[in-house]
């Protein structure tokens, strides 16, 4: 494209090579924000374009938890457990998304040949990961929300609303911490080739168990549950259950404390993600398998 034509079609493009050294901080920031939104955009828009996903991602989790609801009902458990299961099932969508939509995404991108493009683009890799996280949060919230509404209606779950403020804050903090962890996974999984696939598989049921998706995590015992707290959903889900349902004395720690711990985890995982990304890029360049497919 001739230079004059480029300046007409891209009036806001900064006259620089795009790298941090070549641009002003403001231009570099703008580039990265664009990259972030661009990566998020495909996920947000994908939700609207492929509406059949909504069916699969709202009905499937409800089907999965329906079996556990019937287990509790066959045990004549208090009805609050039905609510615990429905909430856990809806929240499980976030964990699955972090594994498959965040952790494995660079691996999938490598398989489809897109990873090369991300790495030659003059933007921070964190912007790509941030966009993946932002888009994924929006996408998954639509689906998890649908599953929550559907499951609650199907099984007559009742919620309390007197702690709505802390519930919303706790939920957002948990999401940030969780997707920070997902950004760490994205780098680590990429280093492990085909093992990443199985690693993601391995982190499904064991985390459903350790994070207490279908029962109060307190049942695991304090220390096991506290160790499982490194997964933000463990304490996040426990806090949400305490804040959304009548107190059944099943909380591991007070909800406020759990939210505060997750805020710390959020900061920790975001820093870890930047470090892991740099490490992954270094190792991949040194070993020359950054774009090697089918390994």
Partner 1 sequence: MAVNSSRSSGSRDGPWRAGWWHIVRTGAWLGWQIGSNWTDPFLFAVYSIFRPVAQGLILVFMYLVISRDALSSPMFAHVYLGNAFFAFVGQVMMGVSWCILEDREFFRTFRYIYILPGRLQWYITGRAAAGAAIGALSVAILLAFGRLFLGLPLHLARINWLYLLPVLVLGIVACAALGMALAGVYLISARHGGAYSEAVAGLLYVLAGVVYPVDILPGWVQPLSRALPLTWWIEGLRRACLGCGMASSLAWASEGMILAVLLGTAVVLVLACLAIFLGCERVARQRGLLDMATFH
294 binding partner 1? (CB under 8 A): yes
- How far apart CA 151 and CA 157 sit, in angstroms, is 8
**Total of chain residues touching partner 1, rule CB under 8 A:** 43
145 binding partner 1? (CB under 8 A): no
215 binding partner 1? (CB under 8 A): yes
12 binding partner 1? (CB under 8 A): no
- How far apart CA 240 and CA 242 sit, in angstroms, is 5
Using the rule CB under 8 A, give the single segment among 124-132, 205-213, 233-241, 279-287 that binds partner 1.
Answer: 205-213
Distance of CA 256 to the CA centre of its chain: 22
- Please report the sign of the dihedral spanned by the C-alpha atoms of residue 53, residue 56, residue 58, residue 64: negative
- Please report the sign of the dihedral spanned by the C-alpha atoms of residue 51, residue 47, residue 97, residue 104: positive
We find the least distance from the C-beta atom of residue 154 to partner 1, in angstroms, to be 11
Nearer to partner 1, 119 or 208 (CB): 208
- How far apart CA 41 and CA 45 sit, in angstroms, is 6
Tokens read off for 124? 């921070």
67 binding partner 1? (CB under 8 A): yes
Instruction: Build a one-symbol-per-residue string for 17-56: x at contacts with partner 1 by CB under 8 A, - elsewhere.
Output: ---------------------------------x-xx--x
Any idea which residue has 């990304």 for tokens?
A: 277
- How far apart CA 89 and CA 71 sit, in angstroms, is 14
Chosen residue from 16, 44, 59, 121 binding partner 1 by CB under 8 A: 59
63 binding partner 1? (CB under 8 A): yes
End-to-end CA, the chain = 38
Positions touching partner 1 (CB under 8 A) are 50, 52-53, 56, 59-60, 63-64, 66-68, 70-75, 77, 81, 108, 111-112, 194-195, 197-198, 201-202, 204-206, 208-210, 212-216, 219-220, 250, 294
């Amino acid at each position: 494209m001739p230079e004059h034509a480029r300046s007409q079609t891209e009036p806001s493009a900064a006259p620089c090579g795009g790298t941090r050294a070549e641009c002003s901080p403001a231009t570099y920031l703008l580039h990265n924000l664009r990259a972030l939104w661009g990566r998020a955009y495909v996920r947000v828009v994908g939700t609207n374009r492929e509406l059949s996903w909504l069916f699969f991602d709202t009905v499937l989790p409800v089907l999965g938890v329906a079996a556990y609801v019937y287990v509790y009902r066959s045990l004549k458990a208090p009805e609050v457990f039905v609510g615990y299961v429905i909430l856990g099932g809806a929240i499980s969508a976030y964990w699955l998304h972090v594994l498959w939509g965040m952790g494995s995404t660079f691996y999938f991108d490598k398989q489809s040949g897109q990873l090369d493009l991300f790495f030659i683009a003059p933007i921070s890799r964190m912007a790509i990961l941030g966009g993946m996280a932002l888009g994924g949060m929006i996408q998954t919230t639509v689906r998890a929300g649908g599953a929550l509404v559907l499951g609650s209606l199907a099984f007559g779950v009742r919620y309390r609303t007197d702690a709505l403020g802390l519930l919303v804050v706790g939920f957002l903090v948990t999401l940030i911490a969780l997707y920070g962890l997902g950004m760490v996974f994205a780098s680590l999984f990429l280093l492990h080739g085909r093992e990443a696939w199985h690693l993601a598989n391995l982190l499904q049921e064991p985390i459903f168990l350790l994070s207490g998706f279908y029962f109060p995590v307190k049942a695991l015992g304090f220390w096991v549950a506290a160790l499982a707290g490194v997964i933000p959903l463990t304490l996040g889900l426990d806090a949400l259950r305490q804040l959304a349902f009548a107190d059944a004395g099943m909380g591991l720690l007070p909800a406020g404390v759990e939210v505060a711990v997750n805020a710390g985890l959020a900061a920790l995982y975001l820093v870890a993600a930047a470090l892991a990304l740099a490490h992954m890029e270094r190792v991949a360049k040194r070993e020359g398998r950054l774009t090697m497919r089918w390994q």
